[in-house]
Structure 1
Amino acid sequence: MPRPFDVTTETSAGVSDVVAAFSAQEYWLARLAAYGGDSMTLDSLVVDDDGGIVVRTTQDLRQEMLPGAIGRLLPGDTAITRTESWRPATDGQVHGEFTIAARGVPSSGAGTMVLQPVPAGSRLRVWGSLEVRIPIMGGRIERYVADLIAREVPQMQQFTASWIAGEA
């Protein structure tokens, strides 16, 4: 059964500054280096004339990167591909969708994102669900990944604000 998640975080960076960062290859390379080292790659970054952004990354999930039982359960060539699509809205918000696909593991995830202005900067809300179709262990892996998302979304938005400020 798919596991839902819902994460909201705020940073001091404004919506237009965050979108400008999301449009920059330098930002993505710095973010991937900070959160995945050499295990993450930027596969593509497309910025449309109308302000739409599509970014795709891949992370190699070597067994030693995962908790004990989960790492032993997955094949050695497991990789996660994430695709984020962002589009501006007329109300100052930016809306997005994401997908997560895994190679080597029968799993998937998808969801929605909204970046909106708040008096002190911006608020990002990310919600969706993920499903790992492995008998007995699937629920445990889903729980691990949902917890990871809940920790990483605020960290990555703080990284974004620091990168914008020239501190990252």
Structure 2
Amino acid sequence: MTYRFEFRLRVALGPKGDLFLTSRIRNTNTDGKPFSFTFAYHTYFSVSDISEVRIEGLETMDYFDNLKGKERFTEQGDALVFESEIDKVYLDTPPKIAIIDHEKKRTFVLRKDGLPDAVVWNPWERRSKTILDFGDEEYKHMLCVEPAAVEKPITLKPGEEWKGRLELSAVPSSYYSGQLDPDKVLHG
């Protein structure tokens, strides 16, 4: 089935280097029919070493594990750390997520609106060797955290518009494992 829609993407760079992405999708169908879609910003982050990175803001969240037949689980740790392949869709996540890179002493802060979910992906060693345009060792220096609307597709009636927004900031940090003050990064 074919749907008519308008997609607008606004990209803005703030004075301190913050990146703002705003997407708008409007249903322009003239046949009176609604349509549904899912959405994700495929944001890949360059990290020093995946085993030295942690994500805060997703603890205690429910998620679907794509490596286990999309079975539903609840995150148990106080932060997300990486020791193997990961492909999870976190559900109903907070509007702010922090990616702490200890070695680079840098924290990426993701602020999102209209995007209730977050996909976290890293192919790790075995899977990275099967991806044609992905170097065998590149998994060590990347992490994908995608603000998304996946679990519940967005449905637009003709004339309706959806808006999703993502703000990315990279802030210097002197944090090391276990010493992050979540109130400063996640609530500040």
TM value normalised by structure 1: 0.35
Higher percent of residues as strand: 2
Structure number having the greater helix percentage:
1
- TM-score calculated relative to the size of structure 2: 0.32
